Structure 1
Amino acid sequence: MNFIKRAWLNVIRKRGRTLLLILITSAILLFVLSGLMIQSAAEKAVQNAKESAGTTVTLSANRENAFRQMRKQKQGRTELNLASVNLKKAKKIASSKYVKSYNVLSSTTATAKSFKAIKTTTGSSGSSPQGGPMNGNSNSSSKTSLSLSGVTATSVTSAFTDGDNKIVSGRGITTSDQGTNHVVIEKELAKENNISVGDQIKIKSNSKTVTLKVVGIYRASSSSTSTSQMQQSDPSNTLYLASNYVSELKGSSNQADSVVYTMKNPAKAAAFIKQEKTLINTSKFSLTTNDALYQTMLTPLNNIKSFAQKIVWLVGLAGTIILTLIVILMVRERRYESGILLALGERKGKIVLQFLVELLMVLVVSSVIAVGGGKYAGNLLSKQLVQQATTQTVSSNTKRLNNSQLGGGNNSGMSQGMNNPGQSGGATSQNQQQTTNLKLSLSIKTIVEVIGFGLLIITISILLGTINLLRLPPKKILTH
Structure 2
Amino acid sequence: MNFLKRAFHSMKVKKGRTGLLTIVFSAILIFILAGLTIQSASLKATENAKKSMGATVTVSASMQKAMEEMRSSEKEGEKPDPSGFKLTPIDEKTMNKLNALDGIATSNVTSSTSANAKSFEAITSDDTSTDETDTQTEGRGGPGGGMGGMASAGDLSIAGTNTTDTVSSFTSGTSKIVEGVGITEADENTNHAVIEKNLAEANDLKVGDKIKVEDTDEKSHTLEVVGIYESTETADARALQIASLNPYNKIYTSYTFANTLKGSDYKNTADSIVYTLENPEQVDAFVKAAKKAGVDTDTYTLQTNDQVYQQMIEPLKNVESFAQKIVLLVSIAGTIILALIVILTIRERKYEIGVLLSLGESRVKIIAQFFSEMLIVLIMAMVIAGVSGQFVGNMVGQQLLDQQTTTQTATTQDAGQQRGPGGQGGPEQGDANGGPRGGGGFGGFGANSVAEAEQIKELDITLSLQELVELGGFGLAISFLSVILASIGIMRMQPKKILIS
Give the TM-score taking structure 1 as reference length: 0.87
CA contact (8 A) 1:277 1:287 kept: no
Does the C-alpha gap of structure 1 residues 222 and 97 become closer, same or farther in structure 2, counting only changes over 3 Å?
A: same
CA contact (8 A) 1:117 1:144 kept: no
C-alpha displacement of 1:98: 2.2
Distance 1:163 1:107, change over 3 A: same
What is the identity, as a one-letter code, of the residue corresponding to 1:194? D
- Which whole-Å deviations, capped at 9, do the CAs of 1:58-86 have from their partners, x for residues lacking one? 11111133234435545421232111101
Could you tell me which of 107, 112, 119 is aligned with 2:112?
A: 107
Aligned to 1:266: 280
Letter in 2 for 1:319: G
For the pair 1:219 / 2:230, whether they are aligned, the reply is yes
Q: After superposition, what is the alpha-carbon deviation per residue over 1:117-156, rounded to whole angstroms, capped at 9, x for unaligned?
A: 11145599xxxxxxxxxxxxxxxxxx97111111111112
Of residues 355, 359, 364 in structure 1, which corresponds to 2:374? 359
Number of the residue aligned with 2:413: 398
Q: Quick one: which of 179, 188, 206 aligns to 1:178?
A: 188
Indicate the residue corresponding to 2:94 in structure 1: 89
Q: Distance in 1 between matches of 2:305 and 2:388?
A: 42
Query: How far apart are residue 275 of structure 1 and its match?
Result: 2.1
Q: Distance in 2 between matches of 1:264 and 1:408?
A: 24
Matched with 2:245 is 233
| Whole-angstrom CA distance in 2 between matches of 1:306 and 1:121 | 56
2:91 and 2:10 map into 1 onto residues whose CA distance is 82
Q: Distance in 1 between matches of 2:9 and 2:251?
A: 83
Q: Which residue of 1 aligns with 2:465?
A: 444
Pick closer, same or farther for the CA change 1:231–1:276 going to 2, 3 Å.
Answer: farther
Distance 1:301 1:224, change over 3 A: farther
In the TM superposition, what whole-angstrom CA distance separates every residue of 1:227-271 from its partner, at most 9, and x where no partner exists? 79x975111111111112222222211111111111110111011
Using the alignment, how far apart are the partners of 1:246 and 1:389 within structure 2? Answer: 44
Does the aligned pair in 1 maintain the 2:423–2:449 contact within 8 Å? no
* Structure 2: gaps spanning 5 or more residues: 130-152, 425-435
Q: Deviations over 1:143-195 (max 9, x none)?
A: 97111111111112222112221112211111111111111111111121222
Conservation of the 8 A alpha-carbon contact between 1:94 and 1:101: no
Which position in structure 1 is the counterpart of 2:295? Answer: 280
Residue 149 (1) aligns with residue 159 (2): yes
One-letter code of the match for 1:89? T
Deviation at 1:403, TM superposition (A): 1.6
Residue 297 of structure 1 is matched in structure 2 by: 312
- In structure 2, the partner of 1:188 is 198
Q: Is the 8 A contact 2:158 2:251 kept in 1?
A: yes
What TM-score results when the alignment is normalised by the length of structure 2? 0.83
Residue type matched to 1:247 in 2? N
Partner of 1:77: 81
Contact 1:118 / 1:144 at 8 angstroms: preserved in 2? no
- Counting only pairs closer than 5 Å after superposition, residues 238-387 of structure 1 correspond to structure 2 as 238-251=250-263, 252-278=266-292, 279-387=294-402
- Aligned mates of 2:164, 2:3 — CA distance in 1: 73
Match of 1:42 in 2: 42
SS at match of 2:214: strand
2:401 and 2:423 map into 1 onto residues whose CA distance is 32
Letter of the 2:10 partner, please give it. N
In proportion to residue count, which structure has more helix? 1
**Which secondary structure state, in structure 2, belongs to the residue aligned with residue 210 of structure 1?**
strand
State the partner residue of 1:139. none
**Cα distance per residue 1:7-56 (max 9 Å; x no partner):** 11111211111111111111111111111111111111111221222311
Q: Would the aligned equivalents of 2:243 and 2:249 in 1 still touch at CA under 8 Å?
A: no
Q: Distance in 2 between matches of 1:95 and 1:470?
A: 72
Q: Tell me which moved more, 19-28 or 245-254.
A: 245-254
Q: 1:346 to 1:286 in 2, by over 3 A?
A: same
Report the more deviating stretch, 319-328 or 87-96: 87-96
| Whole-angstrom CA distance in 1 between matches of 2:391 and 2:13 | 32
2:55/2:306 contact within 8 Å kept: yes
> Could you tell me whether the CA contact under 8 Å between 2:58 and 2:303 is conserved in 1?
yes
Greater shift in the superposed pair: 71-80 or 276-285: 71-80
Distance verdict in 2 for CA 1:95–1:473, change over 3 Å:
farther
Q: Paired residue for 1:460, among 449, 464, 481?
A: 481
Distance 1:121 1:259, change over 3 A: farther
Contact preservation (8 Å) 1:88, 1:254: no
Report how many aligned residue pairs link the two structures: 450
> Counterparts of 1:401 and 1:171 in 2: how far apart (Å)?
33
Q: CA–CA distance in 2 between the matches of 1:408 and 1:121?
A: 30
The structure 1 segments of at least 4 consecutive aligned residues displaced by more than 6 Å after TM superposition are 225-228, 406-409
Q: Distance in 1 between matches of 2:40 and 2:423?
A: 40
- Asked whether the 8 Å contact 2:115–2:155 carries over to 1, the reply is yes
- Residue type at the aligned position of 2:226: V
Q: Secondary structure at the match of 2:479?
A: helix
Sequence identity percentage: 44
Question: Considering only aligned residues, what root-mean-square deviation do their CA atoms show, in Å?
Answer: 2.8
Check whether the contact 2:156–2:244 (CA below 8 A) recurs between aligned residues: no
SS of the residue corresponding to residue 179 of structure 1 reads coil
d(CA) in 2 for partners of 1:425 and 1:221? 16
Which residue number corresponds to residue 138 of structure 2? none
Report the counterpart of residue 98 of structure 1 in structure 2: 103
Pairs within 5 Å for 1:45-56: 45-56=45-56
Q: Which residue of 2 aligns with 1:133?
A: none
